[in-house]
Amino acid sequence: MSPASTRYKGKSGQWAFLGHRITGFLVFLFLLLHIVDVSLLRWPATYDQVHRLYGNVMLRLFEVGLLFALVFHTFNGLRIVAVDLFPDAVRNQRRLFQAVIAITLLMGIPGGIVILWPFIDGHLL
């Protein structure tokens, strides 16, 4: 493996690239798990039993992480498409990346609160 192969010019572009890779990889791993757990629908009682685990606090935190990864990957992907379609957008690329971060936080934090609500509310511990 040569480090030069994935080295870039640094700054926001480097972080966007790295973030896109890591979040894409993590979402893919979750997808593998999710296809397997949904396949348990063939055995309704087992499905419900396994599915209940997703309501656990630890797994809720994991779901919040999934939400952040998903939203970041989505909007960073849209940034990439925007730059492909309008090459002049490169001039504002730092601003675009900041918008990606802002949207990730704006959607991730309220979404995370909703997901963790039963726990915050004290229903669940």
Partner 1 sequence: MTALDVPPTKPRKPNSRKRSAEAWSWAFMRLSGLALVFLALVHFSITHIVNDVVDTDYDFVLDRWHNPAWRLFDWLLLVLALGHGVNGLRWIVDDYVRRPGPRKAVKGVLYSLTAVLVVVGTLTILAFPTRPR
The residues of the shown chain that bind partner 1, judged by CB under 8 A, are 1-2, 5-6, 21, 24-25, 27-28, 31-32, 35-36, 38-39, 41-42, 44, 47-48, 51-52, 54-55, 60, 63, 66-67, 70-71, 74, 77-78, 81, 84, 111, 114-115, 117-118
Least spacing, CB of residue 86 vs partner 1, in Å:
13
Dmax over Cα atoms in the chain, in whole Å? 55
**CA-wise closest residue to 78 among 42, 70, 18, 116:** 70
Least spacing, CB of residue 6 vs partner 1, in Å:
5
